[in-house]
Chain A
Amino acid sequence: MNKQEFTITVYTENQVGLLNRIAIIFSRRKINIESLNTSPTEVDSVHRFTIVINEIEEVVKKLCRQIEKQVEVLKAYYNTEEEIVWQELALYKVSTDAIAEKVKVERLLREYGARAVAIRKDYTVFETTGHREETDNLIKALEPYGLIEFVRSARVAIIKASNSFHDRLKEFEKKEPGEEVIENEYLDKNEEVFTM
Chain B
Amino acid sequence: MLGMHGNYGPNVLTNECDVLIAIGMRFDDRVTGRLDKYARQAKVIHLDIDPAEIDKNVIADIPVWGDCKETLPILTNLVEQKVYPQWLQKFKDYQQKEEEKVIYDELNPTGEVLTMGEVIRVLNELTEGNAVIVTDVGQHQMVACRYAKYNQTKSNITSGGLGTMGFALPAAIGAAYGDPSRTTVAVIGDGGFQMTLQELGTIMQFKPNVKIIILNNQFLGMVRQWQQLFNEKRYSFVDIQSPDFVQVAKGFGIPGKSICKREDLKTSLKEMLESKESFLLEVMVGKENNVFPMVPQGRGVAEIVLSKEEI
Contact = CB atoms under 8 A, between A and B. Distances in A.
A29 interface: no
Contacts, number: 11
B69 interface: no
B26 to A, nearest CB: 13
Contacts of A61: 55
Interface in B78-108: none
Interface in A17-42: none
Most buried by A among B51, B52, B56: B52
A69 B51 CA distance: 9
A59 to B, nearest CB: 11
Contacts of B56: 62, 65
A164 to B, nearest CB: 19
B267 to A, nearest CB: 52
B35 to A, nearest CB: 13
Interface string A47-84: 00000000000000110011011000000000000000
B142 to A, nearest CB: 29
Interface in B12-66: 50-52, 55-56
B125 to A, nearest CB: 45
Nearest to B50: A69
Contacts of B55: 61
Nearest to B53: A65
A16 to B, nearest CB: 24
Contacts of B52: 62, 65-66, 68-69
Nearest to B59: A58
A66 B55 CA distance: 12
Interface in B206-238: none
A24 B50 CA distance: 20
Interface in B102-132: none
Interface of A: 61-62, 65-66, 68-69
Given A65-B52, A68-B52, 9 more contacts: A61-B55, A62-B52, A62-B56, A65-B51, A65-B56, A66-B52, A68-B51, A69-B50, A69-B52
11 contacts: A61-B55, A62-B52, A62-B56, A65-B51, A65-B52, A65-B56, A66-B52, A68-B51, A68-B52, A69-B50, A69-B52
Q: What are the 7 A-B residue pairs with the smallest beta carbon separation, nearest first?
A: A65-B52, A69-B52, A66-B52, A62-B56, A65-B51, A68-B52, A65-B56
